Amino acid sequence: MKKIGISIYPSKSEFEQDKTYLDLAHKYGFTRIFTSLLEIEGDGSEIIEKYKRIIEYGNKLGMETMLDINPKLFGQLGVSYDDLSFFKSFGASGIRLDLGFSGAEEALMTKNEHGLKIEVNMSSGTKYIDNVMSYCPNREHLLASQNFYPQRYSGLAHDHFEQTTAQYNDYRLNTAAFITSQVGELGPWEMQDGLCTLESHRTLPIELQIAHYKLMDTIDDVLIGNAYASEEELRKVSEIFHSPHHLLPIVFNKDATELERKVILNEVHSYRGDRSTYMIRSTQTRVKYKEETFPVGKTDTMQKGDVVIGNDTFGQYKGETQVVIQEMEDDGTRNIVGTVQEDALFLLDYLEPWTSFKFIER
């Protein structure tokens, strides 16, 4: 991923609210802004001035704004696809086409004299992008993003998401998708129950949504679809986005020792390359802590997500850290020191051999 972003909706908010939100997002390294013109009625001149004012403020913070539009809006505003000066006057970095044209128009728009970027909608599952690319667009100005879905149960299925994303990755285009704040209540439309791309993300803590995208590694930019995310949510998204290692949340057992907690929390773990069906092995901890003592602690049948450390009965494997990915029987050699947070267990399916990861206590 290259950038993280937020969304604002000036037609439904006040400048000072949005300004405060942009300041907070900027503090945590957010550099993209999504906003929608789709809900503007008539010429909307007064509302348009509100957009221009907050976009200009975002520009001063170094944040790029994309305007969501569709072909109908061109006619409504008296704008032509071969003259994008109207959108340039907003101070925006580009426009996002919620609905597209025939392909030729999109390609022409990428060559606009104002340097505006054109972002196309990835979610349809048609050969739309093949058609756009057949008209030789300026790739440097062509971006793509998945939709967000306000209606519960209407978000993308994971297999459809993978299929459509692959189409755009094949053309090496910059891609984006949306995650949802669990406290934000503002969106472009009256009805919204979160604004995420993937339906599986709708009720997840925001840090697990961003962690999922980072592990999949098929989306460049991730934006929070609804406003206003809390400062804690912004901080968590930024922490995971900027971390050089994948982060897994752990809940410790009350019997875990200080040494075991140190081994888990203070080390960068590496998924050993000769993978096992049953566990993710982080073997360097047994080397670093070879001289330490690991008395027998809590042992039991081990379930997916259990985080274990080899105890003193484990011979040369004493001190090795393992994350269980398939049930393992208890032979008394592994202390169960904690468990990956239950709603984060699915992230283990996306870890690849030789990737690095750290544990964070939640």
238-248 pLDDT per residue, tens: 999 999 999 99
Distance CA 345, CA 352 (A): 15
Give the CATH H-level superfamily of domain 248-361.
Cyclophilin-like (2.40.100.10)
Domain boundaries, the chain: 3-242, 248-361
pTM > 0.85: yes or no: yes
Q: Is the pLDDT at 80 greater than 90, yes or no?
A: no
Cβ burial of 61 (10 Å; 0-12, 13-18, 19+) is middle
Cβ burial of 249 (10 Å; 0-12, 13-18, 19+) is buried
101-157 pLDDT per residue, tens: 999 999 999 999 999 999 999 999 999 999 999 999 999 999 999 999 999 999 999
Q: Look-up: residue for tokens 């349809």? A: 124
Q: Which of 11-15, 56-60, 188-192, 232-236 has the weakest average pLDDT?
A: 188-192
pLDDT score for 43: 62
Number of neighbours of residue 137 by Cβ within 10 angstroms: 22
164-186 pLDDT per residue, tens: 999 999 999 999 999 999 999 99
Angle CA(74)–CA(79)–CA(80) in degrees, nearest 5?
90
Distance CA 200, CA 180 (A): 11
* Topology annotation, domain 3-242: TIM Barrel (3.20.20)
Distance CA 12, CA 36 (A): 11
Distance CA 271, CA 248 (A): 13
189-228 pLDDT per residue, tens: 888 999 999 999 999 999 999 999 999 999 999 999 999 9
